[in-house]
Every structure is written in C-alpha cells, then in structure tokens.
C-alpha cells in the first residue's frame, strides 16, 4: 500500500532534496561559471512599465510544411508575459510550372497541407491572420510587402519559416523596445531595430569572421539580420519610400566592397537585403546585435533547402535556453536535473507544494514572486490541468504522482539487479 496522500509532500521533499544535493555536488565540481550571468539576470529582472505598443510576428512561408511547423511551435512556446502578441502568416504561392500536371498536383497538395495546418494551429496570445497569395511573389516581395506600420507604436518581428526561436526571445525583444525606443536617454533615431541571429562574418568580399569583445553582450552594426529581425516603425517606413524612389529611377543597390553587390548581380530582384543594406549605409543607420558565447543565439535558422540554399545546410548556432522550457513537466528523476540546472542560479531552490492549495492562492503567490524578483522555485503537485497550464506558461513543475512512480520503479529495478547478482 502506498503512502497516504498527505505524506506525499514530505516524501517528495526528502527524495528531491537528496537528488538536489547530489546535483549540486556534481554541478559545482565539474561545470564552468555561467558565461553570460548579466544577460540571464537582466531577463529575470522585472520588465519596466512601457507605453502601450503593438507587437506583430510576421512569418514568411512558402512550401516547407515541416519547417513552418517547427517555426510556429517554437514561437508558441515563448514567454509573452501576458502581452497581446499578434501572428501574421504570409504564404507565398508556387510558381507556374510548364504544363506539368504531375508537378502541379504536387504543388497544390503541398499548399493545401500548409493551409490546413495553419488554419488548425492555435495561437492563444492575440490575433492570427493568414495571407495566402494568388501568385508567386518571391522572397523580396514577401519581406517588403509584409508590413506597413499603422502607427509609430507598432513593431514587427519578421521570421522566415526555417527559423526557430528561443523561449526567451520575446522577453529580450520587449526589453530592447522599452529601453532603446521608449527610453529617451537611450533612444537614437539611427537605430532601426535588432537582430537575434548570431553575427558571424563581416559581409565584405572576403567574408572575414567578425571579432568581438567577449564581455560585450550588445553592439551596433550596419547590417540587417534576416534570421529573426525586429523592425522599428519609422526607419522601415523611410526605407520603403527610399526603395520606391530608387527602384522607379532604375538606381541599383550596389555598395562598393560588399558581398551583397555580388549577390544582387547574380540573383537580382529575388533578394531584398542589398536594397536595405544600401539604404542603412546611406543613412548611417545601425542594427542592435547580440553576442552570446559558445555560438548561441535567440534565433537560429536551420537553413533548409529553398531560395537561399540549394540543399539543407543545418543550423550554424545553438539556441540560447537557460530557462525551464514551457510545457515541460518533470515526471522522473532523469528529467529533474535539467530543471534544477535552469533554476539554480541563486544556489537555493524553493520547493512549493500545491497539495490542497487553490488556483487563486497559487496565482497570487506567483504575483508576489514576480514582484520580489524570485525565480528559483519549483511547483510540486498532483496531476491536474492547472499543473499542466503552469508548465505551459514556463513555470518549473513536478508531477508528484508520476515522479513517485518513477522513483518506485527505479528502486524495484535496482533491487532486482542486486538480487540477481
């Protein structure tokens, strides 16, 4: 007969405490210090109040269902801090084939599967809008026509469908908007946005690797990043008008010494980045970039086969993920280590029992935790929809029922092995 229900918290506390002591001994005797302590602490600081602004995610898709599925699921797993966040999915149409009926049927089937997926995809954070083109527009038009800001308080985060984002990405972007757009002491009209991709090369003819100070986490650079680009409204409007003038007059986006000039000569109007890079150099505008160690970034392109790559190249960076993943519920001792790693920055863990505790009381406790900047906690409770909802919101949780069953199974197996030996 198993332990009585009211003894479960004590039994779990003893089990997890023993595991935690072993974990701390292993961690502090073998691992190196956190290479980016200031960044993680800045994410966990309370987000300052800001004026109301509109945040829209612009997903540019074509014919890659697996890529789009991975991209949308990573966006849905992010922490949006209860902010309204809108999702606009722009699906380009396939190009006309040369009367090849078999290829036409394949293209139609691919497009319809993508439409079916995005129609069923649940977006709980704001408005979901799907724009399906009637003809093939190409990558340049997909980018340039995706957004015209409705006000100076509307921001766009543009991602191509082979992108994957970190659960931390929105917290970071929101802090940039608050601190570099609305904070008068930091605001500069020469900053047009921020890129979340890892900067690798100086885009000159020879593509030398970029060299940065390891202690710098943010820096300004005259380059646009297409793997997760935050756009500020005023510079984007200005660019669109500049583009109209130069395109109408037949002025090419050539920039001496830049590899993008060679790209444009080869690919022409299929790409848009040479136009934007020419614009920001002519205006003296800069992009905010991140510099995280160990080849990490808040957004990663899987470089799937498509317009930019003839065949899949795979990611060149690792997603920055030093927080408990939303949706992860601990059900075994094997899974507990990664959660402890994610919350142990203060070397003390607060184990919160939810046995017999109502939802309103738990939510009130969370408000106090956030107000006091407390993040080193783990919720422990019986299996329930509320526990699952907490995990989906990014809170570390332990399913007490399944965790104890896992411990019992391990002990039973270990005992059998001892008896056999």
DSSP 3-state helix, strand, coil percentages of the chain (rounded to 5)? 45, 15, 40
Check residue 418 and give its pLDDT: 62
Check residue 44 and give its pLDDT: 46
What are the two backbone dihedrals, phi and then psi, of residue 297, each rounded to the nearest 5 degrees?
Answer: -155, 165
Check residue 11 and give its pLDDT: 57
Check residue 49 and give its pLDDT: 57
DSSP assignment string, 292-313: BTTTEESEEE---SSSS-SS--
Check residue 302 and give its pLDDT: 87
Check residue 373 and give its pLDDT: 63
- CATH of region 48-319, choose from 3.40.50.300, 3.10.150.10, 3.90.550.10, 3.40.50.720: 3.90.550.10
User: pTM for the whole thing?
Assistant: 0.66
Check residue 45 and give its pLDDT: 47
Tokens of 293: 């160690």
Specify the pairing of strand 377-381 against strand 350-353: parallel
Check residue 391 and give its pLDDT: 79
Check residue 357 and give its pLDDT: 86
Distance (Å) of CA 224 to CA 32, 162, 197, 234, 274: 33, 18, 10, 16, 10
Sign, CA torsion 185/211/175/181:
positive
Tokens 């390891």 found at: 214
Check residue 59 and give its pLDDT: 97
Q: Taking the domains of the chain in order of start, what are their residue ranges? A: 5-34+324-420, 48-319
Check residue 387 and give its pLDDT: 87
Residues of the chain with pLDDT under 70: 1-50, 97-99, 200-209, 211-212, 304-311, 313, 321-348, 371-373, 410-421
Q: Is 268 exposed, middle or buried (0-12, 13-18, 19+ CB in 10 A)?
A: exposed
């Amino acid at each position: 007969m198993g332990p009585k229900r009211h003894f479960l918290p004590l039994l779990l506390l003893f089990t997890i405490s023993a595991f935690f002591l072993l974990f701390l001994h292993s961690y502090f005797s073998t691992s190196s210090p956190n290479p980016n302590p200031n960044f993680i602490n800045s994410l966990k600081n309370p987000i300052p109040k800001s004026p109301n602004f509109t945040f829209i995610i612009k997903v540019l898709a074509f014919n890659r269902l697996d890529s789009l599925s991975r991209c949308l699921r990573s966006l849905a797993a992010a922490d949006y801090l209860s902010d309204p966040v809108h999702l606009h999915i722009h699906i380009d149409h396939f190009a006309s084939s040369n009367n090849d009926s078999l290829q036409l049927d394949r293209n139609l089937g691919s497009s319809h599967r993508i439409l079916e997926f995005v129609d069923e995809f649940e977006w709980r954070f704001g408005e979901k809008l799907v724009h399906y083109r009637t003809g093939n527009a190409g990558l340049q038009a997909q980018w340039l026509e995706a957004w015209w800001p409705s006000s100076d308080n509307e921001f766009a985060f543009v991602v191509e469908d082979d992108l994957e984002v970190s659960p931390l990405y929105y917290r970071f972007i929101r802090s940039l908007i608050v601190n570099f757009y609305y904070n008068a002491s930091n605001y500069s009209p020469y900053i047009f946005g921020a890129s979340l991709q890892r900067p690798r090369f100086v885009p000159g003819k020879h593509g030398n690797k970029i060299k940065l100070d390891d202690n710098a986490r943010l820096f300004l650079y005259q380059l646009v990043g297409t793997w997760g680009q935050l756009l500020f409204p005023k510079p984007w409007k200005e660019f669109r008008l500049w583009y109209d003038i130069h395109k109408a007059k037949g002025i090419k986006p050539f920039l001496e010494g830049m590899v993008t000039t060679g790209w444009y000569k080869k690919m022409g109007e299929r790409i848009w980045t040479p136009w934007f890079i020419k614009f920001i150099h002519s205006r003296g505008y800069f992009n905010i970039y991140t510099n995280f160690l160990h080849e990490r970034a808040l957004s990663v392109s899987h470089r799937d086969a498509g317009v930019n790559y003839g065949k899949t190249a795979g990611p060149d960076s690792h997603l920055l993920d030093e927080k408990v993943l939303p949706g992860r519920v601990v059900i075994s001792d094997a899974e507990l280590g990664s959660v402890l790693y994610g919350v142990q920055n203060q070397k003390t863990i607060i184990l919160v029992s939810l046995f017999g505790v109502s939802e309103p009381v738990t939510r009130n406790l969370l408000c106090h935790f956030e107000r006091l900047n407390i993040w080193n906690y783990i919720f422990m409770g019986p299996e329930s929809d509320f526990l699952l909802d907490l995990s989906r919101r990014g809170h570390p949780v332990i399913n007490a029922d399944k965790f104890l069953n896992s411990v019992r199974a391990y002990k039973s197996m270990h005992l059998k092995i001892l008896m056999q030996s």
